[in-house]
Structure formats: C-alpha cells, structure tokens
Amino acid sequence: FLFIFFSFLYIFPFQEFIFIVLILKMALIFFILILSHLVGMSHAQLKVGFYGKTCPEAENIVTNVVRQVAASTQNIAPVLLRLHFHDCFVQGCDGSILLENGEIGERHAFGHQGVQGFDVIERAKQEIEKVCPGIVSCADIVALAARDAVVVANGPSYEVETGRRDGLISNLTLAANMPDVSESIQILKAKFSQKGLSEKDLVVLSAAHTIGTTACFFMTQRLYDFVPGGGSDPSIDPSFLPELMAACPRNGDVNARLSMDRGSSEEFDNNILQNVRSGFAVLRSDASLYEDVDTRNIVDSYFGIFSPFLGTSFEDDFANAMVKMGRIDVLTGKQGKIRSVCSTF
C-alpha cells in the first residue's frame, strides 16, 4: 500500500493525487456495498439445513409428529400435502392459510373448502417452541410436514429447503384465483405458469391425487350437468360411469367421499396417471391432463417401454416439483416474521 501511495505521489501532482484517492475511496465503498448486498441476499435465500445450527432438532420433531398422527389418522398424508399446496398458491408459501382471523381469514375462502391439517402444524409448532422458541417459521413446518406425509404414504423422500418466514396478511379474497377441479387445462396451465411452474409440474403435482379422497360436491357437475351439452362428461369411460354415479347419486349427500385414485388410493404411486390415460380419472381436472397435447405427452412419458431407462422417474419429477412449489413467493431474511402460534398474528 505504501509503495502504491508514494508511486502515485511521484507521478501525479498533489491535487490530482487527492482526486484519484477520492475516486478509489468511492470505488471501494461501492464495492463494499455491493458485497454486503450479495451477502445479505445469500442469507435471505432458502437452503437445505437452514436450522442446522439454530434449531437442529426441528425437522426430526416435525417428522415424529406427522408419524404419530398418521398412526391414528388414516387420511393425514393427503391432508398435509393439500395444505402445503393451498398455502403456496395464495401469496406464496408463507403460512397465511394457517391464520384464524375471523370470517375474512384466508382459510375460509371458497377455494380452500375441505382444507385441514391445521392442528397437526400447530402441534409440531408447540413441540418446536419448547426446544427453540422464535426460530422456526410455521411456513417451514407446513413444507416439512408435506414431505413427511408423502413418505408416510410410501412416496419419495426429498430434501426440503427451509428459511421461510411467516406472512402478515390473511384475507379470503386473496384466494379467489386458486386452481379449481372444474377448470379447463388451458386455465390450469396458465395458473401454474403464473407461479413459475411448468407443464410437467402441473402433471406431477396433480398426480398427488394418487392419495386421498374428494367430496361428491366436486363431482356433481361432471356427472350430471357437464358443460357443454349437459349429462355426463364424455371423457369418463362408460364402464366407470355407473361406479361414480353409485358413489355420488344425483341429489345425494354432497359430503360423501370417494377415492381420487381408483384402485390405489392409499399408496403414493403413478397409478392415477394410468387412470387418466384409460378414462378412469375421478376429477375433471385430472382427466383434462389427457386433452392437451403437451400434458398428454408428459403423462405418456412415464409409461413407455424405455421410460425406466430414459429421463427422470415420476418420483423424481414429483420431488423436484414440490421443491419448486415450495419456493413460490417466499418471505425470507427480514421479511415477514416468525409466529409463536401459527393460527394468530
């Protein structure tokens, strides 16, 4: 440094030297600011093992709670998986769906009908707060619980990126644009694209319907008042139609439930995509995956002769899609907050 200092002093007049020093000083300050910004950004990003030092038992606690609940509650896997999906598609994965702030609360939105699992997330949160209070966000617990739910159903395990913070807004009007089972494939593709998700993500995330049930409420129009033309959806295999009508008769109990994956509703696999190919899809949105050239090719790609040897597997693609979905509009760094109770501000 001294060598450079006296070299400049020898070469340039004193006034010019002072000017150069000022320029160098400003450049150094600018460089430090940029470096600080980049470091701040790196801390603000999601990453696997975010709580490795601050709360190393967090993930194990969530896993144990999910397993304990699954031992006594048969349908908990699809419940927690659906909870994560519904949280991320409204304002991003920020735990806003967990908030209970009266009739205007997000969880009461029409598009969130039947969403459950709030008590499981709260239970995991309470256990974590005993060990590391104020560290782990409710949004991260939702994401971890969804992964553990998939594993409970014999689906693929995957590493969950954490570091989300909890949102500060909960309003049912913000959930007005949730994907709906009655929407066309074009609308579904557009809604997924708006969230940064591809057509393959749409296919494999829809295939999460391989586990769980749906209410007859979502089947009435497809079975009896399908648009256009009325009657039943012509894409339903004729041999399957009587089975669906018996499960959901006209003017019957709209809260009655039926499996979304015919023949494999308790096992996480790609059987539901085979049903889509064969006209045995239960939900209209699942059936529509075979009406679009691009999504149909994706569905078929998992059943070709060379599929096991070419490209990624359905399980890998599903895991990758879950990770991508978990990044939607997340709050990190100093954004949002860490709630001590997931259901309240």
Q: Is 77 helix (H, G, I), strand (E, B) or coil?
A: helix
Contact 121, 141 (CB under 8 A): yes
d(CA 235, CA 203): 18
Radius of gyration of the chain (CA): 26
* DSSP H helical ranges for the chain: 2-11, 14-44, 58-72, 76-88, 118-131, 138-152, 185-194, 199-206, 220-224, 241-247, 271-278, 284-287, 293-301, 314-325
Q: First-to-last CA distance in the chain?
A: 54
Catalytic residue chosen out of the listed positions 37, 43, 86, 112: 86
The answer to whether the annotation marks 210 as part of a ligand binding site is yes
The answer to whether the annotation marks 92 as part of a ligand binding site is yes
Nearest to 146 by CA among 28, 342, 292, 322: 322
The answer to whether the annotation marks 96 as part of a ligand binding site is yes
The answer to whether the annotation marks 122 as part of a ligand binding site is no
Query: Strands 161-162 and 47-48, how do they pair?
Result: antiparallel
d(CA 340, CA 345): 9
d(CA 206, CA 185): 12
The answer to whether the annotation marks 311 as part of a ligand binding site is no
The answer to whether the annotation marks 294 as part of a ligand binding site is no
Question: Is residue 37 among the annotated active site residues?
Answer: no
d(CA 112, CA 97): 9
The answer to whether the annotation marks 263 as part of a ligand binding site is no
The answer to whether the annotation marks 253 as part of a ligand binding site is no
Q: How far is CA 307 from the centre of its chain?
A: 26
d(CA 170, CA 262): 36
Burial of 268 (0-12, 13-18, 19+ CB in 10 A): buried
Burial of 39 (0-12, 13-18, 19+ CB in 10 A): exposed
The answer to whether the annotation marks 90 as part of a ligand binding site is yes
Q: Residues forming the annotated binding site for Ca(2+)?
A: 87, 90, 92, 94, 96, 106, 210, 261, 269
Q: Residues forming the annotated binding site for heme b?
A: 209
Q: Which residues are catalytic?
A: 86
Q: Residues forming the annotated binding site?
A: 87, 90, 92, 94, 96, 106, 179, 209-210, 261, 269
Q: Residues forming the annotated binding site for substrate?
A: 179
